[in-house]
């Protein structure tokens, strides 16, 4: 099968905290005023992505993997994950603050939910004035102090706030409490998992007047209570170079700030490659075809590709592999 660069239909998610930037800025096909997420590439059961371009239009990601296995994902990836797609790619628009939450690690997730944990990273694409994130605690906290803060409604006093601007990047490991705050739009790269422990939701009610479920007890043994400054990613934005951002067991992400054509020999990569366009536009070519990519779009390049050519006069891309 000719595995040309593949685009997928965005899976749009309405959220209590969502807005309109995914439609207005990234041109997502939404009529809603509360679109919070666009799942660009998903192997999550119930939300499997479908190809949006070319001869394979309408074919699901699951079908592609079953039919093309190693050619699509890479032998090393197949050996590790089988026919599960290991990465979930999203764009997120927070018109209001998201709930404060955390994700369990692989061990807890497997034991409790028969799921992967959820390690993730964020790249800020757009931020209103004074846009910020909550990332971790601002001091070391004991479990008892944490429980008391929930009872006293003082959890927010323990949070670490990070003011952000375009290009800021954060690595959110499992156990770290976090929240995207109002006015921030970002790209998210994460393990394939939709497993979240919500610990505080600003006492908001959903459209039916109900408070959303909290996962207070489940979270107690999953939280990292230490103050750690391990979340801000320092990376180079050198032009026309492959700049490493994150290299963790679950994904590797590079930043490409391109002003001209780049040729990449990927013969020995043995992994699929994902490109998220976070600025500008480009044409991306592999062995079987060429596809245009604009701000807010995502493509998947098959592992069997021997080369990738990126033609542009100006673009910024997140390159994701395993």
Whether residues 133 and 197 fall in one domain: yes
| pLDDT (tens digit per residue) in 80-96 | 999 999 999 999 999 99
CATH of the domain at 72: 2.60.120.10
Whether residues 262 and 205 fall in one domain: no
**How confident is the model at residue 203, as a pLDDT?**
85
Check pLDDT > 80 for residue 39: yes
Whether residues 207 and 275 fall in one domain: no
pLDDT band at 217 (very low <50, low <70, confident <90, very high): very high
Whether residues 117 and 166 fall in one domain: yes
Domain that holds residue 248: 243-321
Q: Does any domain span residue 229?
A: no
Whether residues 91 and 168 fall in one domain: yes
Q: pTM here?
A: 0.95
Whether residues 128 and 272 fall in one domain: no
Check pLDDT > 80 for residue 207: no
Whether residues 43 and 191 fall in one domain: yes
**Residues identified as active-site:** 198
Whether residues 180 and 258 fall in one domain: no
Instruction: List, in order, residues 6 or more apart from 151 with CB less than 8 Å away.
Output: none
**How confident is the model at residue 115, as a pLDDT?**
83
Whether residues 95 and 173 fall in one domain: yes
Sheet with strand 159-163: strands edge to edge: 159-163, 132-137, 178-180, 100-102, 197-200
Number of domains in the chain: 2
Q: Does any domain span residue 6?
A: no
Q: CB–CB of 195/104 below 8 Å?
A: yes
**Upper half-sphere CA count for residue 225 (Cβ side, 13 Å):** 13
Whether residues 258 and 154 fall in one domain: no
| pLDDT (tens digit per residue) in 106-155 | 899 889 988 888 999 999 999 998 999 999 999 999 999 999 999 999 99
**How confident is the model at residue 1, as a pLDDT?**
81
Whether residues 19 and 128 fall in one domain: yes
């Amino acid at each position: 099968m000719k595995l040309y660069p593949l685009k997928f239909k965005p899976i749009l998610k309405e959220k209590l905290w969502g807005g309109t930037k995914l439609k207005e800025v990234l041109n997502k096909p939404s009529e809603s005023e509360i679109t919070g997420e666009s799942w660009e590439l998903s192997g999550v059961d119930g939300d499997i992505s479908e190809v949006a371009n070319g001869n394979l239009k309408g074919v699901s990601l699951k079908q592609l993997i079953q039919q093309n296995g190693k050619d699509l994902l890479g032998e090393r990836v197949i050996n590790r994950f089988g026919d599960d797609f290991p990465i979930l790619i999203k764009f997120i628009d927070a018109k209001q603050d998201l709930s404060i939450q955390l994700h369990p690690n692989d061990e807890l997730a497997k034991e409790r939910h028969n799921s992967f944990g959820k390690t993730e990273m964020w790249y800020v694409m757009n931020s209103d004035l004074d846009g910020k994130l909550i990332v971790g605690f601002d001091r070391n906290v004991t479990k008892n102090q944490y429980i008391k803060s929930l009872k006293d409604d003082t959890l927010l006093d323990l949070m670490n706030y990070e003011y952000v601007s375009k290009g800021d990047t954060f690595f959110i490991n499992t156990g770290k409490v976090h929240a995207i705050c109002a006015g921030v739009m970002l790209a998210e790269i994460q393990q394939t998992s939709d497993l979240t422990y919500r610990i505080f939701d600003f006492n908001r009610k959903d459209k039916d007047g109900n408070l959303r479920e909290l996962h207070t007890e489940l979270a107690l043994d999953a939280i990292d209570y230490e103050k750690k400054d391990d979340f801000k990613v320092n990376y180079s934005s050198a032009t026309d170079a492959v700049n490493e951002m994150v290299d963790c067991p679950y994904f590797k992400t590079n930043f490409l700030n391109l002003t001209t054509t780049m040729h990449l020999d990927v013969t020995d990569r043995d992994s699929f490659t994902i490109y998220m366009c976070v600025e500008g536009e480009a044409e991306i070519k592999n062995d079987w075809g060429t596809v245009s990519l604009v701000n807010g779009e995502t493509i998947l390049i098959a592992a069997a590709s021997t080369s990738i050519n990126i033609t542009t006069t100006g673009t910024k891309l997140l390159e994701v592999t395993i």
